[in-house]
Structure 1
Amino acid sequence: MKLKKYTDYALRVLIYTASKEDNQLASITEVSETFSISKEHIRKIVHQLTKLGLLETIRGRGGGIKLAKPPEDINIGRIVRILEQDFVLLECFDKDMNECVITPSCKLKHALNKALAAFFSVLDEYTLDQLVANKDELRLLMDLK
């Protein structure tokens, strides 16, 4: 299983903004340059994270983005579920497209369902504040002042 780049980038945006000191504003340009991701990608991600109530945008000169809620209130499992809407791991996970003849007796589907549930169970244990617990190291790596 592989998460979409969009989800990866969204998590990076959240980590970046959570790593800013004293809830300082970040800019789309800063995030884009730090991770070598196009501004347009970051802009779309910021827009969605704002709609989800995770980021707050401040317009105008001196504006930017910041977390809209405390990092301990941002659950990683919830974010991944929202951003990754396709967890069809095999054909048999899609009832409309499934043509596999062994589906009624196949145990693989159940094993993968259990594995997917375990994946989310682990992600549900993490909040954004835990991902930035090493804030000093992250700030150094991201060249944050």
Structure 2
Amino acid sequence: MRLTTFTDFGLRVLMRMAGAPERPFTTAELADEFRVSRHHLAKVISALSSAGYLETRRGGGGGAVLARPPEDIRLGDVVAHLEGDQALVECFLPGGNACTLTPNCRLKARLAGAETAFIAELNRSSLADCVYHPLGR
């Protein structure tokens, strides 16, 4: 399974913020640190904010902070939210299913089970288990 870069950066943002939960991070600051476009990271931060993982503040001293403690943020839930519009295979898409094997397919249920197990395995860990400290502390 491969995660989108959107989800990858979403997890990086959360891990970085968990390493210094007392201070806000700006989009520009994180974009520079991760060497990614500010525009792309702004979309990631917006998605994390709308899901309730981040709080954002405008103005001087503004930026984004974690909306809840790292121990309360399950990794699988984050991945499921950020990957929510990405179907594992075409037949999982609403209205999708152009596959000619569908009437006798025995793969779809197994893939759905594997996807569920993947999220469940990630949910065994919280953001607190993956805190990033830039100086390795």
TM more than 0.5: yes
* Other-structure match for 1:92: 91
**Does the C-alpha gap of structure 1 residues 89 and 57 become closer, same or farther in structure 2, counting only changes over 3 Å?**
closer
* Other-structure match for 2:22: 23
Distance in 2, Cα, partners of 1:62 & 1:94: 42
Q: Which has the larger radius of gyration?
A: 1
Distance in 1, Cα, partners of 2:102 & 2:26: 49
Matched, 1:120 2:119: yes
Deviates more, 1:88-97 or 1:111-120: 88-97
Q: Which runs of 5+ in 2 are unaligned?
A: none
Distance in 2, Cα, partners of 1:36 & 1:42: 10
Amino acid at match of 2:26: S
What is the aligned residue count? 137
Return the TM-score normalized by structure 1: 0.80
Distance in 1, Cα, partners of 2:94 & 2:66: 39
| Structure showing greater relative contact order (alpha-carbon pairs closer than 8 Å, 6 or more residues apart) | 2
Q: Which runs of 5+ in 1 are unaligned?
A: none
Amino acid at match of 2:135: L
Distance in 2, Cα, partners of 1:52 & 1:94: 22
2:56 is paired with a residue whose SS is strand
Percent identical pairs in the alignment equals 40
CA shift, 1:110, in A, is 2.2
CA shift, 1:36, in A, is 0.2
More helix by percentage: 1
